[in-house]
Amino acid sequence: MKSMIARYNSRQELAFLAGFLPAVFLFGPAQSAEPGQLFTFFQAEQFEYRANDGHDSLNWDAQGWIGNDDHKAWLKTEGEKPTDGRLEKGEIQLLYSRRISDFFDAQAGVRYDIEPGPERGFGVFALQGLAPYWFEIDASAFVSNEGEVSARFEAEYDLLITQKLILQPTTEVNFAVQSVRERGIGSGINDVELGLRLRYEIERKFAPYIGISWERKIGETADIAQDEGEDIDTLSFVTGIRFSF
Amino acid sequence: MNKPISGFSRRDALKLAGAAGIAGTLVVYPGRRSFASSTKEYTLNVETGRIAVDGVSSNAILMGGSVPAPTMRWREGDEVVVYATNRLDVPTSIHWHGLLIEGVMDGAPGFNGFVAIQPGETYTYRFKLRQAGTYWYHSHSAMQEQQGMYGAIVIEPSGREPVRADRDYVVVLSDHTQEDPKRVLSNLKADAGYYNYGKRTLIDFFRDASRDGFNIALKDRLDWGEMRMDPTDLADVTGYTFLVNGRGPQDNWTALFKPGERVRLRFINASAMSFFDVRIPGLPMTVFSADGQNVQPVRVDEFRFGVGETYDVIVLPRDDKAFTIFAEPIDRSGYARATLAPREGMEAAIPEQRPRTILSMADMGMAHGGMDHGSMTGMDHGSMAGGAMSGGAMAGMDHSKMGGAPMAGMDHGAMGHGGAAAEGGERRPFGWADASTPPGAKALDYADLKASTPNPDGREPNHEIEVRLTGIMERYMWNLNGRPFGKDEPIRVAYGDRVRLKFVNTTMMAHPMHLHGMFVELENGQTDRKPRKHVVVVPPGKTVSAVLTANEPGDWPFHCHLIYHMEAGMMTRFIVEPKSA
């Protein structure tokens, strides 16, 4: 993984600049009593070990930002590395995020997939925020450098059992307009992922959790997976830590 | 302590500083007279240090060597000179809260030509005291007030005191955190509910469902969820230790009296964020001054205390026993406690904490039509309550009705708002203003405040300025008229103008609105004896108005005194044009 990061270093730099520079230029005048005050946030929503019948893996899903109320530079990353193999999935997004309503941000920027190959860069447009009834929503559309169009919808909800014991259902759905067989992607709905995680917030910024994650490939994507002898249906037990700083 | 009137002065400040284990030097010379006989000269060093609260040590910023800073005891008519030296490595400032003062001496950086005091520099404050009463002083820079930069000001009148007292104590309430205030604000920006450990849980839901019925409990959750608003959002920050004169509940700051004496307590709410409900079980208090200005005496059992306000009360302990001064923040996340006792070492029972209230749809102020959150379906009961409660000039008054009357919580319940009505079993508080005041007890209400002398300017206001208190809680954005400080439109009035300020609170939090440089007269129904205030508490969803005569030219800060709200941008300029020639 280390060598891979080194290999794509210059690309990541480019991606970083592409995402960050517009944000810097678009920063508005100071919003508060402290001129130019910037805030930062980083959170690994998922940082976990997935136990799945001999196909165990380490997974992460994290976000961070720097900025003010109206303008932010936003980083999103997620990925999966089997315990006994190379990185299987790994993506990083760098976005400029702008407040467009009380509860939502519009985001635009770039995404780069380290894996699965062959390597791809994407343009990203997203809406992220809080929907009525306290659902955290992230809806993204992607256009690859080959012109392929895809989309992803994520939602999560925090159900407080007590002040510190929190049950979090999550869902993720991926769509693609064109199939990209070498990446294992069919057209239409690709897959659905449902998760249920129970965390205990020892502190707000540190919460161990356990849970389950169920992933189902659908349609053409499922056919491709079956052709390659892969499972289309995966149920994993997860153990992890949600942390932020 | 044996000199009654000056019972809490330099000696006690020294004692406090010593007891708190402060290594810094106290460099205040009250009474040192180097100019004319009425000129008092002081040196205040601002520096970092350590303080101990309930035996726990933490970082603080000390002004004059202690937290709180030494009490300034002055006399009306005095000329005061303060040399403020900044020994921090960041800029600082000292603001004289409530004093009628020349703009540049007011000490708010960026206003009236005052520039923050740079590290290593000394600024000379020089002003003549035009008033008497209880005030305070604090930093107006970078949330340093939260770190300990606050102290009391006591100004004796040139004439007679409004009341006779055998003892005179300052009671400075504050909220102390171990966290860096910048970190606190950053946590709030990332997650506005970061410090709220009183959210509604699944367990609460089942409790409500079993009492009110499943459908009512569910509808209540859906109503709030649809708006993405949290009815448990009473205080943005928790994790505080609540202090009396710099001492924690275990330290138990103690004031002495002899049974039968008249004891004057000068309450100052120097908190960064905390509203308190203050009481002394077994000892009614007679309030005779609010924000340093005399009011006709009103006897109360308790009062709700906004950030930045001051109240002077007289108590008459007749028995040879101890009394607890008890101040609970409205989210009930702890308490400040001190003792009034005939002898050192005595203490009284610490009362059980009252339940924490939950906000109602009326606290949304639906009647103002100013909410732009989501659709309003299912909210008709809310707008009914809001309409009934916030119309007209009497708006500032409903909290007395609720505070005093045993039926208060039930009025709302009767409006059909699901879930929280008191039905059988224990009574649960409902709505921001509900302090769980027991039946028969009297809580101070703004409407009770009646100036001891008629208002000097009887003119009707020649114009009205609407100040909308706005924000987006979820993003921890706070501002006035929808515009944060820096992007705001200053308020501009001509010298001598008679102006009405109409505060319209569109948020779900109470905001203690503070105007520098001038008092406002609160329109609380006391027609020609409106109380003069420097802080006006505007409850959630309510409209409160005040009038003022713009007779202090300058470029004055006008802001919410909750420090993180102000820092987030809830501030503007109130410009009084110079007197034309």
Could you give the dihedral angle defined by the CA atoms of residues B172, B177, B180 and B183, in that order, rounded to the nearest 10 degrees?
-120
Choice between A1 and A115, residue whose per-residue pLDDT is larger? A115
Most A CBs within 10 Å, among B179, B475, B485, to test the A interface: B475
Q: Which residues of B touch A28 (CB under 8 A)?
A: 487
Stretch B25-29: mean pLDDT, rounded? 41
Residue partners of B431: CB distance under 8 A and separation at least 6: B357, B359, B360, B362, B363, B402, B408, B409, B412
B450: in domain:
no
Tens digits of residue pLDDT in A117-164: 777 899 999 999 999 999 999 999 999 998 999 999 999 999 999 999
Domain coverage including residue B149? 10-159
* Closest chain B CA to residue A41: B190
pTM of the model: 0.86
Stretch B201-225: mean pLDDT, rounded? 93
- Chain B: give the shortest CA distance to residue A50, in Å: 28
pLDDT band for position A115 (50/70/90)? confident
Q: How far apart (Å, rounded) are the C-alpha atoms in residues A9 and B473?
A: 39
Contact B189 A41 (CB under 8 A): yes
User: Quick check: B25 pLDDT over 50?
Assistant: no
Distances (CA, A) of B498 to B1, B519, B547: 45, 12, 7
Judge if B22 and B108 occupy the same domain: yes
Judge if B31 and B142 occupy the same domain: yes
B545 phi, psi to nearest 5 deg: -125, 155
Judge if B15 and B83 occupy the same domain: yes
User: Quick check: B339 pLDDT over 60?
Assistant: yes
Q: How far apart (Å, rounded) are the C-alpha atoms in residues B79 and B84?
A: 16
Choice between B87 and A179, residue whose per-residue pLDDT is larger? B87
How large a percentage of chain B has pLDDT more than 70? 83
Whether B357 contacts B434, CB under 8 Å:
yes
Whether B562 contacts B537, CB under 8 Å:
no
Question: Looking at domain A2-25+40-244, which of 3.30.830.10, 2.40.160.40, 2.10.60.10, 1.20.120.450 is its CATH number?
Answer: 2.40.160.40
Is residue B14 helix, strand or coil?
helix
What pLDDT, on a 0 to 100 scale, did the predictor assign at position B543? 96
Judge if B331 and B399 occupy the same domain: no
Judge whether B475 is closer than 8 Å to chain A, CB to CB. Answer: yes
Judge if B422 and B320 occupy the same domain: no
Residue partners of B473: CB distance under 8 A and separation at least 6: B192, B229, B230, B233, B507, B508, B509
Q: Specify the residue for token string 């240090």.
A: B49
What pLDDT, on a 0 to 100 scale, did the predictor assign at position B365? 67
Closest CA to B297 of B280, B316, B282: B316
User: Quick check: B37 pLDDT over 90?
Assistant: no
Average pLDDT, chain A: 87
Most A CBs within 10 Å, among B189, B200, B223, to test the A interface: B189
User: Quick check: B383 pLDDT over 70?
Assistant: no
Tens digits of residue pLDDT in B251-305: 999 999 999 999 999 999 999 999 999 999 999 999 999 999 999 999 999 999 9
* Closest chain A CA to residue B188: A39
Contact B484 A133 (CB under 8 A): no
B449: in domain:
no
The number of distinct structural domains making up chain B is 4
Tens digits of residue pLDDT in B43-70: 999 999 999 999 999 999 999 999 999 9
Stretch B501-512: mean pLDDT, rounded? 97
Q: Please give the full DSSP string across B325-386, using - where no structure is assigned.
A: EEEEETT-S--EEEEEESSTT---PPPPPPPPP---GGGGTGGG----SS--TT-HHHHHHH
Using CB atoms, pick whichever of B202, B225, B472 lies closest to residue A133. Answer: B225
Using CB atoms, pick whichever of B372, B373, B569 lies closest to residue A33. Answer: B569
Judge if B80 and B93 occupy the same domain: yes
Most B CBs within 10 Å, among A31, A45, A157, to test the B interface: A31
Q: Which residues of B touch A161 (CB under 8 A)?
A: 201-203
Q: How many residues can be counted in chain A? A: 245
Q: Which residues of B touch A134 (CB under 8 A)?
A: 225, 228
Q: Which residues of A touch B109 (CB under 8 A)?
A: none
Chain A interface with B: residues with Cβ < 8 Å: 28-35, 39-41, 43, 69, 99, 102-103, 130, 132-134, 159-164, 204, 244
Judge if B339 and B369 occupy the same domain: no
- Of B12-21, B246-255, B262-271, the one with minimum mean pLDDT is B12-21
What pLDDT, on a 0 to 100 scale, did the predictor assign at position B426? 67
What pLDDT, on a 0 to 100 scale, did the predictor assign at position B413? 32
Tens digits of residue pLDDT in B391-421: 333 333 333 333 333 333 333 333 333 334 4
Per-domain residue ranges for chain A? Answer: 2-25+40-244
What pLDDT, on a 0 to 100 scale, did the predictor assign at position B366? 57
Judge if B520 and B533 occupy the same domain: yes
Average pLDDT, chain B: 86
Stretch A163-177: mean pLDDT, rounded? 97
In the A/B pair of chains, how many CB contacts fall below 8 A?
A: 78
- Chain A: give the shortest CA distance to residue B484, in Å: 6
Is residue A173 helix, strand or coil?
strand
Most A CBs within 10 Å, among B184, B202, B226, to test the A interface: B202
Whether B244 contacts B173, CB under 8 Å:
yes
Kind plus residue range of the DSSP H or E element containing A175: strand A165-176
- Chain A: give the shortest CA distance to residue B378, in Å: 14
B348: in domain:
yes
Judge if B175 and B295 occupy the same domain: yes
* Other residues' Cβ atoms within 10 Å of the Cβ of residue B204: 18
Judge if B201 and B266 occupy the same domain: no
B447: in domain:
no
Closest CA to A101 of B137, B286, B374: B374
Contact A41 B571 (CB under 8 A): no
Judge whether B485 is closer than 8 Å to chain A, CB to CB. Answer: yes
Q: Which residues of A touch B203 (CB under 8 A)?
A: 161-162
* Structure-token pair, residue B5: 């009137």
pLDDT band for position A106 (50/70/90)? very high
Using CB atoms, pick whichever of B186, B222, B487 lies closest to residue A133. Answer: B222
Buried b (16+ CB within 10 A) or exposed e, B360-389: bbbbbbbbbebbebeebeebebbbbbbeeb
Judge whether B187 is closer than 8 Å to chain A, CB to CB. Answer: yes
Using CB atoms, pick whichever of A33, A99, A133 lies closest to residue B226. Answer: A133
What pLDDT, on a 0 to 100 scale, did the predictor assign at position B425? 53
- Beta partners for residue B63, in sequence order: B46, B66
Which of B417, B434, B451 is at the close of a domain? B434
* Other residues' Cβ atoms within 10 Å of the Cβ of residue B201: 18
User: Quick check: A233 pLDDT over 70?
Assistant: yes
What pLDDT, on a 0 to 100 scale, did the predictor assign at position A81? 95
Q: Specify the residue for token string 């892969």.
A: A230
pLDDT band for position B27 (50/70/90)? very low
What pLDDT, on a 0 to 100 scale, did the predictor assign at position B23? 34
B157 preceded by a cis bond (ω within 30 of 0)? no
The DSSP call for residue B291 is: T
Tens digits of residue pLDDT in B146-198: 999 999 999 999 999 999 999 999 999 999 999 999 999 999 999 999 999 99
Cα angle at B497 between B496 and B499, to 5 degrees?
140
- Chain A: give the shortest CA distance to residue B217, in Å: 15
- Chain B: give the shortest CA distance to residue A84, in Å: 36
Q: Which residues of B touch A162 (CB under 8 A)?
A: 201, 203
What pLDDT, on a 0 to 100 scale, did the predictor assign at position A37? 83
Judge if B122 and B45 occupy the same domain: yes
Buried b (16+ CB within 10 A) or exposed e, A10-31: eeeeebbebbbebbeeebeebb
The β-bridge relationship of strands B253-256 and B150-156 is unpaired
Give me the CATH number covering residue B481: 2.60.40.420
Judge if B226 and B278 occupy the same domain: no
Stretch B330-336: mean pLDDT, rounded? 97
Closest CA to A96 of A88, A105, A104: A105
Burial of A147 (0-12, 13-18, 19+ CB in 10 A): exposed
- Chain B: give the shortest CA distance to residue A185, in Å: 35
Which of B112, B131, B159 is at the close of a domain? B159
User: Quick check: B428 pLDDT over 80?
Assistant: yes
pLDDT band for position A50 (50/70/90)? very high
Q: Specify the residue for token string 């709700």.
A: B304
What pLDDT, on a 0 to 100 scale, did the predictor assign at position B581? 60
Q: Specify the residue for token string 């420097």.
A: B534
Closest CA to B433 of B374, B482, B505, B375: B505
* Other residues' Cβ atoms within 10 Å of the Cβ of residue A167: 16
Q: How far apart (Å, rounded) are the C-alpha atoms in residues B358 and B253?
A: 31
The DSSP call for residue A226 is: H
Which of B293, B319, B354 is at the close of a domain? B354
- Beta partners for residue B303, in sequence order: B278
| Phi/psi-derived region of residue B77, left when phi > 0, alpha when psi is between -120 and 50, beta in every other case | left
Distances (CA, A) of B369 to B387, B397, B576: 10, 21, 31
pLDDT band for position A53 (50/70/90)? confident
* Structure-token pair, residue A97: 């995020």
Q: Between residues 372 and 391 of chain B, which touch chain A (CB distance below 8 Å)?
A: 372-374
Using CB atoms, pick whichever of A132, A161, A164 lies closest to residue B203. Answer: A161
